[in-house]
């Protein structure tokens, strides 16, 4: 698996569900026992197919859900996690999976819920790979003397792979077109911050131009002097902000920036009498 682009994620998200997805997920959320939910119908569906086609169906579903899960991560985390996925996707035993998952905690910072879901993907790959190996008798790498499995046994292993795939909190990996709420909040916050940029820039300029001889004596004093001039600037230039400016809240906003915004605070300290509040 190479790095997944946002376009690929969006394409999979809008893609129609396969027959296997529809069958396995039918009433899944309402099921009282998800471990064996739709077991008979899913096994019958896979058994009616050529075993290679059945494997392709299951593998595509693993790939699709994994891709959608990656879409819930930020691009930087997604890029870091991809090399680990490549290793985990080849595992065929619990020991191999455990060894492959080890470096993940050091390389990538994931929430507890995301880490749990990722472990379920690892289990799904492990079970799928074992099903593939038993079906093709390529068992040298496992050091286990297992003959070619009967198709029914391979199909059961594929079903177990689906079980692992759908474990955990499905809300985080559900194929929903609804955007991630956390990301929406971050985007809204970033947008509000950008709307204040002209006002912050003018504040820095006023801190330099209006600094008294010897420099500003305090941040509250600087905010009081600058506030009416900044308000007039915003009105004359028809600059809108998330919150409507009045003289009172302009002054409060400047004081807030003087304590929390690096650029504004740095400009103040460059033009103050002593580096004190």
> What are the pLDDT digits (tens) for 203-214?
888 999 888 888
Lowest model confidence (mean pLDDT) among 50-64, 132-146, 250-264: 132-146
Model pLDDT for residues 8-61, shown as the tens digit of each residue: 778 888 888 889 888 888 776 666 666 666 788 888 999 998 888 998 999 998
The SS3 of residue 272 is: strand
Question: Global pTM?
Answer: 0.53
Q: Whole-angstrom Cα distance, residue 89 to residue 20?
A: 21
pLDDT-derived band at 3, boundaries 50, 70, 90: low
**By the 8 A CB rule, do 47 and 152 touch?**
yes
Going from the C-alpha of 13 to that of each of 68, 139, 173, the distances in angstroms are 7, 36, 11
pLDDT confidence of residue 238? 74
Task: Report pLDDT for 181.
Answer: 54
């Amino acid at each position: 698996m190479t790095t997944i682009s946002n376009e690929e994620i969006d394409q999979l998200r809008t893609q129609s569900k396969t027959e296997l997805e529809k069958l396995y997920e039918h009433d899944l959320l309402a099921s009282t026992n998800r471990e064996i939910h739709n077991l008979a119908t899913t096994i019958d569906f896979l058994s009616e197919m050529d075993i290679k086609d059945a494997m392709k169906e299951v593998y595509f579903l693993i790939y699709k859900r994994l891709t959608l899960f990656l879409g819930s991560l930020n691009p930087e985390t997604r890029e870091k996690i991809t090399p680990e996925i490549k290793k985990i996707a080849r595992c065929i035993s619990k020991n191999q999976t455990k060894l492959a998952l080890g470096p993940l905690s050091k390389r990538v910072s994931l929430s507890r819920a995301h880490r749990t879901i990722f472990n379920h993907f690892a289990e799904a790959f492990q079970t799928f790979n074992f099903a593939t190996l038993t079906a093709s008798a390529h068992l040298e790498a496992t050091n286990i003397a297992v003959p070619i499995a009967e198709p029914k046994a391979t199909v059961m292993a594929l079903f177990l792979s689906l079980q692992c795939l759908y474990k955990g909190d499905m809300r985080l990996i559900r194929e929903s077109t609804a955007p991630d709420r956390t990301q929406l909040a971050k985007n809204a916050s970033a947008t509000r911050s950008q709307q204040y940029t002209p006002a912050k820039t003018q504040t820095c300029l006023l801190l330099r131009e209006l600094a008294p001889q010897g420099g500003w004596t305090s941040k509250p004093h600087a905010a009081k002097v600058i506030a009416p001039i900044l308000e007039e600037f915003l009105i004359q230039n028809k600059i809108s902000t998330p919150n409507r400016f009045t003289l009172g809240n302009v002054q409060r906003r400047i004081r807030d920036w003087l304590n929390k915004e690096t650029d504004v605070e740095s400009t103040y300290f460059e033009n103050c009498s002593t580096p004190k509040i």
